[in-house]
Amino acid sequence: MFKKALVLSLFLLLPVCFVQAVTIPTQLTIISGLPQTLDVDATSTVITVEAQDSLNNPANVISTTYVNLVSDSATGVFSSKSASECGTDWTKTQITIASSSARKSFCYKDYTPGTFTITVSDSVGVLASSSKTIIINATSTPDTTAPVITLLGDAVVNLTVGDTYTDAGVTVMDDVDGVLTASTTSIVVTGLPIDTSASSTQYVIYTATDSSSNSASSTRTINISDPAPVVAPVADPVVSHSSGGTGYVQNISYLLATPSPVLTEGLVLGTSTSRVITDPIRLRRLNYIRARLIEIRGHLIFLQHPELRELFKTTGTATVSEAVSPASTTESQDDQTEDKPWWKFW
């Protein structure tokens, strides 16, 4: 009875032994890591290749098998894979599956966006090759730089109460988005319109935000001031004979009260308020004005007393203006070119 049972057991195990004997690898298959989508700036991805039989079951290789690694991307690179991380040598083109093993992992990364194919193949061509795709997305370092706002016109504008203010605006440039306008970014302007009805300091603030939500602000200052007070023109000072201070000719009658036909240097004008005339140019100017005043006074006398005009014509008496020397009525070249009106004789 025992012998029969033993023979039966051996008979049942024969199919299993036979199956194991005929399980040999026929192909290499990428079983994990692909297909996949990877960012261009990602570190890497891990891919595992397995030796399989014709039924796609894992099959240990009999001896060390060299597996070629190929990517149709010019920038795709491979490295070996240890138990915990990728290797530092990214120039690998081949990995090995040790004898009595079926699997091996490796690492891959790429620097060019696109869709590429990774192929694993037996270096001696015994095992069939396998190919799968990987997609590399075009990503870049996150944009953390705010746009740059440039004020058009002055950063500080000075106005007078009642003036009209027109804002010159800004330009906005972003390192990623380029020139920003209202259609590509949010540009907010606060502080407009400017109220110029009273003196104050007001601000126009510009805020720009790029597509990555980075914001920047810039400010323009508007100063509004009251109009400057109107100051009456001040007469030119002359040296006072009595006190050495400054004074002004307040009455042109001083010119007419001087008995001398020609004003000379050192002449004192006036009585209660004395004025010493020493400057030659001023003397010539005073002489000229004095002659004109005397002439005007003579014409006024003729208008009031017509009989005097007839008397002068009959007797040949000279007019009042002829009593003044011609030399005293002629302005010098300096007087004519000096930038002063005729009545500012000081």
pLDDT at residue 293, rounded to an integer: 78
pLDDT at residue 144, rounded to an integer: 87
Chain segment 106-154, per-residue pLDDT in tens: 999 888 888 999 999 999 999 999 999 988 887 666 778 899 999 999 9
CATH code 2.60.40.10 region(s) in the chain = 2-137, 148-225
CA 313, CA 319: separation in Å to the nearest integer? Answer: 10
Q: Does position 252 have pLDDT exceeding 70, yes or no?
A: no
Chain segment 212-240, per-residue pLDDT in tens: 889 999 999 999 999 988 776 554 444 33
Dmax over Cα atoms in the chain, in whole Å? 192
Q: Which CATH architecture has domain 148-225?
A: Sandwich (2.60)
pLDDT at residue 260, rounded to an integer: 54
Q: Does position 42 have pLDDT exceeding 70, yes or no?
A: no
- To the nearest 10 degrees (0 to 180), the angle between helices 306-315 and 280-304 is 110
- Looking up tokens 């002659």, which residue turns up? 291
pLDDT at residue 314, rounded to an integer: 62
Higher pLDDT among residues 56 and 328, named by residue: 56
Mean pLDDT of 285-307: 76
CA 275, CA 272: separation in Å to the nearest integer? Answer: 10
Mean pLDDT of 73-99: 88
pLDDT at residue 278, rounded to an integer: 61
Dihedral of CA 230/235/241/244: which sign?
positive
Q: Kindly report the pTM of this predicted structure.
A: 0.39
Mean pLDDT of 303-321: 61
Chain segment 85-96, per-residue pLDDT in tens: 888 888 999 999
* Residue 176 backbone class (left: φ over 0; alpha: ψ -120 to 50; beta: rest): alpha
Which one of 1.10.10.10, 2.60.40.10, 3.20.20.70, 3.40.50.720 gives the CATH number of domain 2-137?
2.60.40.10
